[in-house]
Amino acid sequence: IKYEHLYLYGYETPAEVEQGLQRYIPFYNEQRPHSALDQQPPAAVHWTSMPDP
C-alpha cells in the first residue's frame, strides 16, 4: 500500500492520508487482483473459502 498508493500521492497531512486510505483499502481488498491469489482480490478468495453455515 505504501508503494502503490501513499508514495504516489504524496499526502501532506495525516487527515489526507486517512482519507486516501479509506478510499484505497476497499479497492485493494475487493477489486485489485493479487498475483499470489491467482489474480483474484483477497475478499473473493476469503469469502469463497468460508464453509457454508
Q: List, for residues 10-40, the tens digit of each pLDDT value.
A: 999 999 999 999 999 999 888 999 888 999 9
pLDDT of residue 48: 83
The answer to whether residue 18 sits within a structural domain is yes
The answer to whether residue 50 sits within a structural domain is no
The answer to whether residue 26 sits within a structural domain is yes
pLDDT of residue 25: 93
Does the model's pTM come out above 0.75? no
How many beta carbons lie within 10 A of that of residue 9, not counting itself? 11
Q: Which residues form the domain of 5? A: 1-31
Mean pLDDT for 2-10 is: 90
The answer to whether residue 36 sits within a structural domain is no
pLDDT of residue 47: 82
pLDDT of residue 19: 96
